[in-house]
Amino acid sequence: MALIKLNSRAIPDDTVIASDIADGSVSTAKLAAGAVSGAKLAADAVTEDKIASTVTLGHRNLLINGDFQEWQRGTSGTVNQYACDRWYGWGNQHALTQQQAENATHNSGRFALRVAHNDGTANTFSSIAQTLETRDAAQCRGKKVTFSIDVKKGSAFTGNLTLQIVTRTDAEGSINTGTRQVLVTEDITSSLTTSLQRFTCTTSTVCAQNIRVIGVNINHTGTSGTDANNNFQVERAQLEIGEHATPFETTDGIVNLARCQRYYEVCDTNVYPVDYSNQSLQNFYWTVKKRVQPTLTASGNGAGAALYPINTNGGYIYHSGKNYSSVSGIAGAAEI
C-alpha cells in the first residue's frame, strides 16, 4: 500500500484524521460545491459567531399576517372576499373561519384559518390567496422564491390540494386575474393527513425582471360534498427569497396589525360632525397610511352618510341632511 506523509506522520493514503490537517489549511476553494452537507456537521458545530455578518436572518417572510392572527372584519367570511386580513377567499362556494391554533405544535400564535367547502356540486374549488404589491414583489426579481406552510385536512376531505407561487407582469392587481405566470404548482394531496404538516415548494426558475406582483395560492380543487369537515386548515405561511425554507418568522403583534392596516382598517371611535342637523364636514385620520386612497364605508347610525376620502392618510365625512349625531364603524379598504 502506498504511503503519504502528513505532518511528519506516515499514514495509508486513504486515511486522514483531524490531527493530520493544520487549522485553517482547508479553504473554501478546496471544497466542492455542496460537499459539506448538514449530515457532516456535528450538532451545534455551526455557532452564531461562525456566520458572516452579511447573512440576514430577520424580515424574511414577504407575506403579511402569515400566522393568520389578524381578523379585523370578524371571524368568518365566504367566497370572493377577505376574511382573515390579507387573505382573499375565492372560488365557488365555501366558508372561511377563524380556528383555534394548535399551540402545542408550534406556539406561534392563537389562530389558524380553516376553509370548508360546502358546495355539493362536483369539480368545484375553494381557495385562498395573498398578493403582494409591486414594492414588495420587486425584491424577488431575478431570484428564486420558496413558499412554506403548515396544512392539515378535515376528516371528510375530498378532491385535491395544491400550493402555487404566481407572478403577474401586466399590472399591480390580484395574482388570479390578468397576465399571470404560475411558477410552481405543488400537489400535496397524497401527503395530507388530519394532523398539521409543513409543506414547501420552490420555483424552478428565477422570477422575471418585470414582475409587478407576486403571491401564493392554496387551492382546494375537484371537491364535492357539503360536509363541514370537507376542509383544509392552514397556519404559519411564509414566502421568502431563496431555494430553501427557513424556520417560520413570527412577527410582533403591533407590527403585524400595522402592516394589515395599510390595506384595511376599522375606526372604532365614533366621529361627530360639526353640525349634524343639516350638512356638515368632519375630519378623521387613519392610524396607518394606506397603500392607495381607500374606499370608505360606515355602519351604525351613520350608515347612510356619504363619505369622501381626501388622501391615503385621512378623509372627510359628509352628511347631506341626514341628521346623524355620529358616524361609527368607519372602515377603509385599499386591498390588492
- Using an 8 Å Cβ cutoff, are 116 and 234 in contact? no
pLDDT at position 313, please? 72
Q: What is the dihedral of CA 183, 188, 194, 200, to 10 degrees?
A: -50
User: pLDDT tens, 286-313?
Assistant: 888 899 988 888 877 677 666 777 677 7
- Which ranges of the chain would DSSP assign to H, the alpha helix? 103-106, 134-137, 253-261
- Running DSSP on this structure, what letter comes out for residue 48? G
Q: Decide: residue 155, CB within 10 A, 0-12 exposed, 13-18 middle, 19+ buried.
A: exposed
Alpha carbon of residue 76 to chain centroid: 18
User: pLDDT tens, 181-231?
Assistant: 999 999 999 999 999 999 999 999 999 999 999 999 999 999 887 888 999
Cα Rg of the chain (Å, integer): 26
Residue 6 clears pLDDT 60, i.e. is over it: no
The more confident residue out of 257 and 78 is: 257
Enter the pTM of the model. Answer: 0.80
For residue 317, the cross-strand partners are 282, 307
* Close Cβ partners of 186 (under 8 Å, ≥ 6 residues apart): 162, 163, 164, 199, 200, 201
pLDDT cut 70: percent of the chain above it: 75
- Average predicted confidence (pLDDT) for the chain: 83
Q: How far apart are CA 132 and CA 237, in angstroms?
A: 14
